[in-house]
Copies of this chain bind each other. A is one copy, B any other.
Amino acid sequence: MNVQFIIIGDEILSGRTQDINTKFLGGFLLKQGHKLTKVITIGDDPKTMRETFLQATSEAQLVLTSGGVGPTLDDLTKKISAETFGKKLVESKAAEIVVIDNYLRFGREWNQKNFYHVFPEDYVPVPNPCGLAPGLLYFDQKKNFAIAHAPGVPREFYEMVQTQILPLAEKLLGANTTPTKQFCVRTHGVPEETIFFKLCPDLWQELEKFGKVSSLPHVVGVDIIITYDAKIFPTADADLRNIFLQTPLLPNIWHWGNESLPEIILQKATKKNITIGFAESCTGGLTSSRLTDLPGSSQIFKGSVVAYANELKINLLGVKENTLNKFGAVSTECALEMAVGAQKNLGVDLAISFTGIAGPTGGTTEKPVGAVCIGWAFNKNSGAEKFEFKGDRLKLKERFSERGLLKILELLN
Contact = CB atoms under 8 A, between A and B. Distances in A.
Nearest to A158: B392
A41 B38 contact: yes
A129 B140 CA distance: 50
A312 B308 contact: no
A346 to B, nearest CB: 6
A356 to B, nearest CB: 12
A303 interface: yes
B293 A302 contact: no
A25 B292 CA distance: 31
Contacts of A315: 345, 347
A38 B30 contact: no
A23 B18 contact: yes
A153 B309 CA distance: 32
A175 to B, nearest CB: 18
Interface in A287-318: 287-289, 291-293, 295, 297-298, 301-309, 311-312, 315-316
Contact of A12 (B15, B22, B197): B22
A222 to B, nearest CB: 10
Interface in A226-259: 227, 258
Given A16-B26, A72-B192, A155-B395, 6 more contacts: A15-B25, A40-B40, A280-B288, A284-B301, A289-B289, A305-B305
12 contacts: A13-B38, A15-B28, A15-B29, A16-B216, A39-B41, A71-B196, A130-B390, A283-B292, A284-B297, A285-B292, A293-B393, A293-B394
